[in-house]
Structure 1
Amino acid sequence: MPYPKGHKVKVRNHILDSAAQAFRKNGIRESSVPSIMKGAGLTHGGFYSHFESKEQLIAETCSNIVNHTIDILQTVALEENTESKFDAVINYYLSPYHRDHIEGGCIIPTLSGEISQSSEEIREIFSQELDRFIEFISDIAGCDKSTGGVVLSIMIGSLILARGVQDPVSSDNILAAGRTHAMNVLHSNSAR
């Protein structure tokens, strides 16, 4: 009996979802194809009927996660009525919720340290996705790309450090300082 129409796409999406969770939680190196397939409820043998390589899976997963993160941040900005839309984006990105929910959060902080040791193909995809994220930040903040890159660097660095420290008070303080400094960079740039 043949599979129903759309079955292959549905299975592929399950694999991408499993990879997204694995990469966010464990990084690329610690996420094996067999464990990703198991997370999707599939056997390892079926992987190559959906992807040519782990690199292809990483590339598509990174792109999907950046899309997802941008979609969430756009929704946060659109729902904001009382403060600047970009302040709302910063407040969400550097929130305890985002810090504590790695499995559904931005992948850039998780993979940044690992990417420099990855293949050229993966570094190229990561660079493209990072550039796309900087463009999103710059557009929503109404600033040039250089300033958008600085603000995003503050956001990502603050999130990495907040996730890394053990003391909850220190972690909250890092998030608060990141929010303050990211907003200060943006607001001082717009005052010029």
Structure 2
Amino acid sequence: MPYPEGHKMKVRSRIIESAAKAFRTNGIKDISVPYIMKGAGLTHGGFYAHFDNKEQLVSETCRFAISDTITLLQKAADQEKQEPKIHAVINLYLSPSHRDQKEIGCILPALSGEVSRASEEVRQVFTHELQRMIDFISDLAEIDQSIGSAVLSTMVGTIVLARSVNDSELSDSLLSSGRQHAKEIIKLSR
């Protein structure tokens, strides 16, 4: 009996969602294909029916994860009624919940250190997705790309450091400072 129409795409989506969670939490290198497939509720034997190799999965996962992050941040911006919309994005991105929930957070802080050693295919996709985030920030804040790059760099760097320390007060202080200075960069650019 054949699978229903769209079955293969649904399975592929489950694999990508499992990979996104795994890569966000543990990076690329330490995550195996069998681990990802198990997270999707599948056996690892079916992986190659959906992807040529792990690099293709990493690339598609980066696309998915950035789209997921932009959608989440756009929702926060759309709900903001008082402050500039970009402030809602900065506040959400540099929040304790984003810091603490790596498995559903932005993939940029999770993979930035590792991607420099990845394949050219992965680096090309990561570069494109990073540019999408810069464009999103720049367009929402109505700032030029250079300032948008500085704001995003501040945000990503802050999350990396806030997740890295084992001192909760320092981590919270890093988030607070990051929020303040990301907003200040935008304010000074006007």
Which TM-score band applies after superposition, normalised by the shorter structure? over 0.9
Deviation, structure 1 residue 6 = 1.5
TM-score by length of 1: 0.97
Partner of 2:74: 74
Secondary structure of 1:166's counterpart equals: coil
Partner of 1:15: 15
The CA deviation at 1:71 is 0.5
Q: Which residue of 1 aligns with 2:122?
A: 122
Quote the offset at 1:34 in angstroms. 1.0
Q: Residue 97 of structure 2 aligns with which residue?
A: 97
Partner of 1:189: 189
Instruction: Give how far 1:53 is off.
Output: 1.1
- Superposed CA RMSD in Å reads 0.6
Structure 1 runs of 4+ aligned residues shifted over 6 Å read none
1:27 match: 27
Unaligned runs of 5+ in 2: none
CA distance in 1, matches of 2:92, 2:39: 28
Distance (whole Å) between structure 1 residues aligned to residue 10 and residue 135 of structure 2:
31
Kindly state the Cα deviation for residue 5 of structure 1 after the two structures are TM-superposed. 1.7
Question: What corresponds to 1:151 in structure 2?
Answer: 151
Provide the C-alpha distance between the structure 2 equivalents of 1:88 and 1:14, rounded to a whole number of angstroms. 30
1:101-138 CA distances to partner (integer Å, 9 max, x unpaired)?
A: 11111000000000111111111110010011101000
Give the drift of 1:15: 0.5
1:43-54 to 2 correspondence within 5 Å? 43-54=43-54
- 1:14, 1:68 → 2: CA distance? 14
Report the equivalent of 1:3. 3
Query: Partner of 1:132 in structure 2?
Result: 132
1:168: how far off? 0.7
Q: What is the CA–CA distance in structure 2 between the aligned matches of 1:72 and 1:16, rounded to whole Å?
A: 18
- 1:109 maps to 109
Q: Does 1:61 align with 2:61?
A: yes
Partner AA of 2:49 in structure 1:
S
Give, in whole Å, the separation in 2 of the partners of 1:72 and 1:58: 21
| In structure 2, C-alpha distance between the alignment counterparts of 1:132 and 1:11, rounded to whole Å | 26
Q: How many residues align?
A: 190
Identity in percent: 57
TM-score, normalised to structure 2, is: 0.98
- Deviation readout 1:144-166 (Å, 9 max, x if unpaired): 00000000000000000001111
Q: Which residue of 2 aligns with 1:41?
A: 41
